[in-house]
Structure 1
Amino acid sequence: MLDGRYTAVVDRFEEDLAVVLLEDDGETVDETVLDRERLPEDGRHAGAVLTLELSDEEVVDITYDEGETVDRSERAQRRFDELSQRPPSREDDSDTS
């Protein structure tokens, strides 16, 4: 891990540990494991978007980004909804000809 500020996403929990993916320009660049209790209370769920600050490869600050968490969740739901729609069958296409 490099020092600096990262967008981080809570990927999953393994008992009392949170696996957090670190992003740089929208790409996952690393992951870290933190005690669940170190996360902000409202950010203790999978998919929570955080801002994580590292110094000397240690986490020095974590904040929850509610707006970005909601935005990502809504985008994912829209993609799921689009993918779950049944494409028209050949029979449906011939009805319009």
Structure 2
Amino acid sequence: MPADGTYTAVVDRFEEGLAVLLLEADGEMVDELVLDAESLPEAGRHADGVLTVELRDETVVDITYEAQETTDRSERAQRRFDELSQRPPPVDDESDSAG
């Protein structure tokens, strides 16, 4: 179980009614948490949903769905994908043969 504190958690996947959350601290993944999927806020029960999770005495005391952060991360990921999928500009054949 991760140390007590407040973490940003990203829903990684669901397995047999369990949600696997990747916990982040200072923008770095620090641990993994497995919870009953039903314990998550309904709006956050999807892959890549961003949550704030508070742990105390090895127990989850609060989980909040972060709708805006989920949207922001999704948009950033889509922009990166779009940038990577762009074809590089064509090479000008005339400049290569000049000389």
> Shorter-chain TM-score: which interval?
over 0.9
Q: Which runs of 4+ in 1 moved over 4 A?
A: none
- Number of residue pairs the alignment of both structures matches: 94
Percent identity between the two aligned chains: 74
Coordinate RMSD, CA, aligned: 1.2
| Alignment of structure 1 residues 16-35 onto 2, 5 Å | 16-35=17-36
Give the unaligned 5+ runs of structure 1. Answer: none
Change (3 A) 1:59 1:95: same
- The residue identity in structure 2 corresponding to 1:44 is R
Q: Return the alpha-carbon distance in structure 2 between the equivalents of residues 27 and 58 of structure 1.
A: 22
Structure 2 length as normaliser, TM-score? 0.90
- The aligned counterpart of 2:91 is 93
Partner of 2:10: 9
Q: TM-score normalized by structure 1?
A: 0.92
In structure 2, the gaps of 5 or more residues are none
Distance 2:94 2:35 in 1: 57
**Max Rg structure:** 2
Aligned residue for 2:81? 80
Q: Which amino acid aligns with 2:41?
A: P
